[in-house]
Amino acid sequence: MHRKILETIREFIREHDMLVPGDRVIIGLSGGADSVSLLMILSELKKELNIELFAVHVHHGLRGKEADRDSIYAQELSENLGVPFVCVHANVAEYARINGVSEEEAGRHLRYRILEEQRLFRHAAKIAVAHHADDQVETVLYNLFRGSGLKGLGGMRPVRDAVIRPLLSVTRKEILAYLEEKEISYCEDSTNSGTDYIRNRLRHEIIPAVRERINEGAPSNILQAAKTAAAADACFEKAARRILESSGIRERREDGGVISIGISAENLKQEESIVRQYVIRQMIGETYLSLKDITSVHVEEAEKLLFKPVGRRIQLPDGGYALRTYDELWIKKEEKMLFSQSGGEETGLTPVMTTFPYKKGQEIPKNRYTKWFDYDKINSALSVRYRETGDYITLAGGGRKTVKSFMIDEKIPKEERGKILLAADGSHILWIIGYRISEYYKITDDTHTVLQIQIDGGKIDE
């Protein structure tokens, strides 16, 4: 077993180009069987692979004396192997409370953050973590049950950025047999035997039931399916990159960052739906620099815009949207909700802005403190500010009137005119706050998205 597992992992490392000679590798060492075997195996292969190892133990501040025991054991094992070691303490309970997540999720986030910090501090190339084949089965099932595309069904990748997973090629049973043969002890985490967490339920209840009642070889079949899904995902990712590289249109900030990206709608419509969705997902990722909070629903709704009239849009998280223009589909992330620093501080008024889909027949607020506008007609970054030369509003019938003329006609004292806040789309004024709104931005039957501006924290003189 000893030689077999070494050979399997050695080939897996080579197959996925995990390490190159001279690499320094940070090992996440909990003291449990999986991470202990990872440290032992990489120590055995260290000379052959020409790598340096550095062990990092994260003390979560949970489980009391049991956690202290794990930390001491991890340090002693590392020292016996001649591997430099550091223990980093993290307040997982406090992090979970502040961020409103479970302690399990908080621990995972803090572990990776600490490992990455140690990688940078130690000038290391890689972070090795101890996920094995059984963990991969659980991950694939978890992603399947909660709803996932090919990326989730492909499970954990052997290499993701600086993180490598050499043990994905072996099972937990093989790991335990290796440690037994080597007569190496390890620490048991008492929480692993419970069924409080979803993964533990998969591990202790669902997967054993599947093996017993459906197919003993089910885990191997799941791993093969995951490998196929990961390969398909990589193929579609590559196709999407190729399409964007050849026909993507990018608008950039002065620093080079992408603020919006478009693509020919007709060209994209010629692709299969799954390719279209991969292209759109990459467009969002390139604009947002992250796919956090982006769901398959966002991508599917953006895809539907290809077959809808010009001007239609859908909202994306964090101030972004997808827009159908005459020739292109655009992903834009611009903060329309920008506030002038010269606004509410002096008046005590705070404009609160929200957007939401408009449904025909909705009653439009009639009070002076809350106004609705057609969000899709706003062309530039929205600001709340005082008047400037050239500001105007649109009248019924389409005519224009300068804000200065309006204030004169309304007999607003000259000394008060500069104190009145305006909601402005460039020089086009949506709302002379406390007075009137522009006809151009009013809600109509063609409105899709409402911008609501509500005045809070003060009162407008009647």
pLDDT digits (tens, 9 = 90+) for 102-112: 788 888 888 99
Annotated binding site for ATP: 30-35
Tell me the per-residue pLDDT of 180-234, one tens digit each, with 9 for 90 and over: 998 888 887 655 554 446 778 888 889 999 999 999 999 999 999 999 999 999 9
Q: Is the pLDDT of residue 166 over 60?
A: yes
Question: Smallest Cα–Cα separation from 368: which of 270, 436, 438?
Answer: 436
pLDDT of the residue at 346: 47
pLDDT of the residue at 157: 94
What element of type H or E holds 258? strand 258-264
Q: Phi/psi at 397 (nearest 5 deg)?
A: 95, -10
Residue 237's SS3 state is helix
Share of residues in the chain with pLDDT > 70 (%): 90
Task: Identify the structural domains of the chain with CATH numbers, from first to last.
Answer: 2-133+154-192 (3.40.50.620), 248-333 (3.30.465.60), 344-456 (3.50.40.10)
Annotated binding site: 30-35
Q: What is the mean pLDDT of the chain?
A: 85
Q: For the chain, percent helix, then strand, then coil, each to nearest 5?
A: 45, 20, 35
Is the backbone of residue 160 left (phi > 0), alpha (psi -120 to 50) or beta?
beta
DSSP notation for 274-290: HHHHHHHHHHHHHHHS-
- Rounded Cα distance between 460 and 462, Å, is 6
Top-ranked range on mean pLDDT: pick from 138-142, 288-292, 350-354: 138-142
The more confidently predicted of residues 351 and 94 is 94
| Site of tokens 């060209």 | 267
Q: What is the mean pLDDT of residues 30-46?
A: 94
In three-state form (DSSP H/G/I as H, E/B as E, the rest C), the secondary structure along 294-346 is CCHHHHHHHHHHHHCCCCCEEEECCCEEEEECCCEEEEEECCCECCCCCCHHH
In this structure, the strands spanning 313-316 and 320-324 are antiparallel
- Where residue 416 falls among pLDDT bands split at 50, 70, 90? confident
Residue 462's SS3 state is coil
